[in-house]
Structure 1
Amino acid sequence: MQPGSAASLITADPGTDLYPQPPVDAADTPGARRIAALTDVQHRIQYLQNVLARTRADLARVDRTPDPVLRLLTALTSGTAPDGDPASPLAAADSPEVVDSPAGRAVALSGAITSGQAELTRRQREEARLRAAIDHDVRRGPGPAVVAEPADGRATRLRRPLAGRLTSRYGTRLDPYYHVWQVHPGVDLAAPVGTPIVAAADGRVSRAGWYGGYGNYTCVDHGRADGQRLSTCYGHQSRLLVVPGQRVRAGQVIGLVGSTGASTGPHLHFEVRLGGRAVDPLPWI
């Protein structure tokens, strides 16, 4: 998909995913239910951000329309008329000459923005609470990373896939490629094209190939952690060096950094997924 086509998709559904997402497992443990709730909240935040962006753009267009009654918007938002006298927003909004006018539309859009921003703030607080609980679960394991339980029964820890600089964090962001709000289900680590990418832990390759906006994308299954399937995924590679079904060891080179798919420059997009759902990788590494 080209960047220019993202706007029409977001207009039709502000919460749509522009990147394909792997299948998820049933949320049948307390930890899985928290992560599923976090995913739902993040997509709601994405939806609200895109709606607010579109509504602000609509308001900006209305504000550029010549209309002497536009001074009403100031009165409604400040509670004071332009001449300094107290204004009555409800009475003004009910005026017949204002309802179907640029000023009336500006009032309605301004109110929608205020309401949407309040809802966004509430959802962001909910997201912060869920993320704190999930990160606490990760950090309560021994050492700086959670111990996983691979199929062979040997404990392992996640390691950093390369030593690149962190350029984008996990969470909802204004996507630099599509220029709309999207959930960023991992972290971006800047590195030159061709930099080796290593497996974060022992495991088996579950996916290796082209995957929409991720470009060349690899996922490695590491067994189970906290009762959930643990995997790490690596996007935008210039070259894949493993195939599905292959066993890999922690630190083994599995691919090379690139800028394939919906990418604005060379970097590694790195994900940690529990039960197929993305979580913040930083507490794990």
Structure 2
Amino acid sequence: MKLTIILAPYDSGYYHGGCGRGPDAIVAGGLVEELTLHGHDVIVVDIGEIGNEQGREISTGFAVCSAISEKITASRKDGRLPVVLCGNCLTAVGAVAGESADSIVWADQHGDLNTPETSTYGFLDGMALATVIGLCWRPMANAVPGFKPLEASRCMLVDARDLDAGERHTLEGLPILHGTCAEAPGLADRLAAAGGHRTHLHIDLDIHDPEVLQANRYAWPGGPNPDELRESMRDVAASLPVVGITISAYDPAFDAKGDVPPAVGRLLVDVLDALRKKA
């Protein structure tokens, strides 16, 4: 397959800080070589430094989304599948926009379904999926080239086990598909039946069981091991028309042995193999 690896090295408005160091670390860990070894034609592009030096989380976060949308649009014109490596989950807003996605799989230990009205901490990334489905930050999201909020019925939330009361209330009131990693393949069939023709696959690396693989500081008990996640996402990709992927939230400071980059390589190899078999 022809792939564009797009690097968005930002975390909460800061360039190459925290999880913003993850994209470069994953590439340095051999991702391109791994994908090339499996027959993929890979190019790497970086959105570079954008926004302003003050590191404003909200304005810079949405500027990153706009830059991602534009890079993906260019990638699509070249017939390449976009794979975005990013620090923040909010970046998926730009990916959905650039891909003209109409459905989404959100694999994450968090629900990311808070809004400014429900959030206890005001953490923008905790509102990422809520933004994708149009619950908040609508004027800023609508300014991202190509963005249209997705219907909640075409949203699948995988293994979100760290949910606060506000997110649980939101989930109860919306037709979002929600289940464990093991249940994801079955949920994917239901998502396909909901009418999605262009699905974005978002994977936050803290979905993993931190006792096996810790990607960042947001460790919460439980979750799949890397083999279980790979199998689940491979089956999901085999069932759905995936048009792009985001991989987010890797902070190398919490991965002393460098276990995460090769795990990402194996994950993408399996997901892309499932997509290639459908082509």
Same fold (TM over 0.5): no
TM-score between both structures, scaled by the size of structure 2: 0.26
Greater strand share, structure number? 1
Q: TM-score, normalised by structure 1?
A: 0.25
Higher helix share: 2
Mark the structure with the bigger radius of gyration.
Answer: 1
Bigger relative contact order, structure 1 or 2 (CA pairs below 8 A, ≥6 apart): 2
